[in-house]
Structure 1
Amino acid sequence: MTRWTPDPTFYPSPRDAAGAPPEKLAYVAAFDRTAGRPDAIAVVDTDPDSTSYGQVVGWTDLPHLGDELHHFGWNACSSALCPTAPHPHVERRYLIVPGLRSSRIYVLDTKADPRKPEVVKVIQPEELADRAGYSRPHTIHCGPDGIYVSALGGADGRDGPGGIAILDHTSFEVRGAWEADRGPQFLAYDMWWHLNHDVLVTSEWGTPSMVEDGIVPELLLGRRYGHALHFWDLARRRHVQTVDLGDQYQMTLELRPAHDPTKTYGFAGVVVNVEDLSASVWLWHRDGERWAATRVIDIPAEPADPADLPDLLKGFGAVPPLVTDIDLSVDDRFLYVSCWGTGELRQYDVSDPFHPVQTGSVRLGGIVRRTPHPAAPTEPLSGGPQMVEISRDGRRVYVTNSLYGSWDDQFYPDGVGAWQAKLDVDPAEGGLALDHRFFPHGEDFRGLRVHQTRLQGGDASSDSYCFP
């Protein structure tokens, strides 16, 4: 008789997940902006008792050039325990790693040697295009019924619409497009869900032609980038409602729903308000039978000498915060907001999601400030806190500094470098403190830029739960 034993890193509820063992390794996407060398997955030691703590201890080059690794994720996670589509046989074993520029998707096995993931499958752009009608895969989420892949572009050279493709949990073959009826949705970016309520939420950035060669000022000032949230019937795969935030709120990107599966709210980050260069965070929530979005955090631009600004910003005389990532702790207590332009990571207590209270802030890098890390106090930093990942117990926060190759070059024309930092958190009181021992940077990443981090065994932004 076959006996299924669920992966021990899966947890039925966020409360259980918060008690999981600490991560020992972090997987980091590293890419070559020139496309002259392969992109890679770097493996960083996160065990404070290890002699190699804070060092790159593993490395896997990919077999092709020009992928531009961006967001990646696990093949399976705690959603496999959901009663509506249980898959107890799957393991949190494979990293699903898309190339945003190449449209390839790599499958890397971490089981045999977690410090040296092995490429076991490559999904070529033609398969994604032929079976799902998409290109430019962007974000990976492990669902209870398959692997969800958001994509920015269409197939056969079409600029859009973007949408969601589904991969098989076991074979990693492209099943097809997720949408049965997309309604008015055209632009794509992130997707997340409220599993117990059969709701999926998507956000908007732009089509490949709008983003691949850098931000297009005419499109930004013309308010042509994404500025809406879309709500879907998850079971029927049908578009239900669009909530437009207002076309001044350009680039509605990262989505972070409440981890508590009884709740129906979440946070969305907006990169820039073109009227004043501020950034914002919005709360989506129920309003009777409909969905609504309320702006709950505003972060103003910081005045600056035009001589210190890149060409793109000289005419404004200010540095925009550029909120390019947000992340929510597993207990739904703290929201982290990365301000990549000003070089700040902010922490908010969102126990009352309609009234966030700022509880912490750390500065690193920034377009003007170039704040150094305490581990290298004489080295001004480029870039800023960008991608954010939180440990399951909420005590550790990891940040990396590159946004997207062509956009890095516009905002940091003298070079963005490469660095990863770790911050320690008191999960009861809040507040942030930089870990002086943890600062892989520069040649530690072999000259490549670094983007997203995933934590061994799971993290705050890669799991979803069906039990409170």
Structure 2
Amino acid sequence: MLESLRTDPTFHASPRLAMEAEAERIAYTALLSPDASRPDALAVVDVDPASATYGRVLHRLDMPNRGDEFHHFGWNACSSVLSPMSGHAFLKRRYLVIPGIRSSRIYVVDTQPDPVRPTIARVIEPEEVLRKTGYSRPHTVHCGPEGLYISTLGGAGADGCEGPPGVFLMDCESFEVLGKWEIERGPQKLHYDFWWNLPRDYMVSSEWGLPPQFEGGIVAEDLLANRYGHQLHFWDLRGRRHVQSIDLGANHQMALEVRPAHEPTREYGFVGVVVDTTNLEASIWTWWREGGKFQAKKTAVIPPEPADAALLPPLLKGFGAVPPLVSDIDLSLDDRFLYVACWGTGELRQYEVSDPMNPRLAGSVHVGGIARRTPHPNGTVFGGGPQMTEISRDGKRVYFTNSLYSRWDAQFYPDGVPGRQALCHVGADGGLTLDPGFLVDFGNDYGAHQIRLQGGDCSTDSFCYSSA
């Protein structure tokens, strides 16, 4: 009984305290069946270098349904529970909440009592999500002081286009779906990622597209006509209302992952843009708040790579080049390094961002890529390229997988994207090195997407107190 009344030791008041915590020994990786011929799964991976099974799958939890399409997922609770506004002081980082982006089904997976052999605690069917929220296609999961926030990519109707997508709340103890988060939506009509600065009381969200624009693959006509998302939205977090939009320009298609600074005294963050339709380049933008208003500026550009048309999929042959296709970004807990996954060119970039308005390229590795097709250092063919990225709390290790979304994988990598998970080591002053001894092979029947680390990671926790 006493143990249940103690604060979870994996919750940390500040980013610096989290960086000093014990290193991860287990990673949980979402696996999807690209053709829905088998259930999606959650893999448990050994990431302890002292272990005899380092870099291997220790266990795989198969789901009871097919066709879910696992994408992003998150913990039921994190360091945000330490907020003075929290009513859940004795929650534990115990459950993983895993949405199916295609089925709109949500799984609650219990990692206790044995973290290596998690079990399914509850399944929330899509009918319940739709009935209580009007939303479909659940995507990003974040734990806040008062519960779970889940963003969606679709509204009601078979095609998810009846009403705009948004965010809904779920009870973090009972896992009951509560309802829509928004009180005043404003002009927001598309959704993708979201995150916040809790003490500063604002949330930021981004845009991808509506379900018909991604579920069957990228729609080239919509992309060239600039019909995908290109705005950032800022919200009053406690008031649950929209306060400002910033249009990055219609040519900056698909503003995806948002990464606010971890240090709560810093009012800035980053967003990655997949492609500029005028020149195929990708970009990183910095947003900040000044005088009560948010602003955004393009602060880094990643050019396309010229390529022989014979090496390109049909979608790109006419361009004679490979776009970087920035599909994920992640920020180290000390707000020093921003990692940028260029899924198209097969590059993982590391930017030094201590000056957030002037990112400086500090490191880079290549593996996979549409035209490069760089093998892993151990000689293994690597389909796809660096995609979902996760950083250890101490900032010394960067894990990544290689699948974007099943239909998009097939369009850009027609030879297939067998599920892989790789690891980079980070130099003390920057720089990246691929670990030749770490390459997790999930097999040809699975794509590998988001990673969650035991005890928390750099895209999990929200901090309520500044570092001393």
TM-score interval for Structure 1 and Structure 2 normalised by the shorter chain = over 0.9
CA distance in 2, matches of 1:380, 1:96: 32
Partner of 1:432: 432
Partner of 1:456: 454
Deviation at 1:414, TM superposition (A): 1.3
CA distance in 2, matches of 1:154, 1:280: 29
Partner of 1:147: 148
Measured against aligned partners, the alpha-carbon deviations of 1:60-106 in whole angstroms (never above 9, x if no partner) come to 00111100000001000000001122421111000000000000000
CA distance in 1, matches of 2:84, 2:438: 40
Question: In structure 2, the residue corresponding to 1:451 is in which secondary structure?
Answer: strand
Gaps of 5+ in 2: none
CA distance in 2, matches of 1:156, 1:407: 23
Partner of 1:268: 271
Residues 279, 320 of structure 1: 8 Å contact kept: yes
Partner of 1:259: 262
Measured against aligned partners, the alpha-carbon deviations of 1:359-396 in whole angstroms (never above 9, x if no partner) come to 10000000011111112x1x332200000000000001
Deviation at 1:416, TM superposition (A): 1.4
1:177 paired residue among 168, 175, 180:
180
Matches within 5 A, 1:33-432: 33-157=34-158, 158-159=160-161, 160-375=163-378, 377=379, 379-426=380-427, 428-432=428-432
Residues 261, 335 of structure 2: 8 Å contact kept: yes
CA distance in 2, matches of 1:293, 1:356: 14
Residues 130, 155 of structure 1: 8 Å contact kept: no
Post-superposition, which runs of at least 4 consecutive aligned residues in structure 1 deviate over 4 A?
none
Question: In structure 2, the residue corresponding to 1:220 is in which secondary structure?
Answer: helix
CA distance in 1, matches of 2:296, 2:361: 20
Identity among equivalent pairs (%) = 60
Question: In structure 2, the residue corresponding to 1:441 is in which secondary structure?
Answer: strand
Gaps of 5+ in 1: none
Measured against aligned partners, the alpha-carbon deviations of 1:18-59 in whole angstroms (never above 9, x if no partner) come to 001010000000011111111000010000000000000011
CA distance in 1, matches of 2:361, 2:148: 35
Deviation at 1:144, TM superposition (A): 0.9
Deviation at 1:442, TM superposition (A): 4.8
TM, length-normalised to structure 1: 0.97
Deviation at 1:263, TM superposition (A): 1.0
Residues 129, 156 of structure 1: 8 Å contact kept: no
Match for 1:292: what amino acid? Q
Partner of 1:447: 445
Question: In structure 1, the residue corresponding to 2:80 is in which secondary structure?
Answer: helix
CA distance in 1, matches of 2:328, 2:343: 9
Q: Give the number of aligned pairs.
A: 463
Residues 442, 448 of structure 2: 8 Å contact kept: no
CA distance in 2, matches of 1:29, 1:294: 33
CA distance in 2, matches of 1:62, 1:45: 21
Match for 2:113: what amino acid? A
CA distance in 2, matches of 1:421, 1:277: 27
Partner of 1:23: 24
CA distance in 1, matches of 2:87, 2:8: 12
Question: In structure 1, the residue corresponding to 2:436 is in which secondary structure?
Answer: coil
Deviation at 1:289, TM superposition (A): 2.3
Residues 34, 445 of structure 2: 8 Å contact kept: no
Question: In structure 1, the residue corresponding to 2:437 is in which secondary structure?
Answer: coil
Match for 1:452: what amino acid? Q
CA distance in 2, matches of 1:380, 1:134: 39
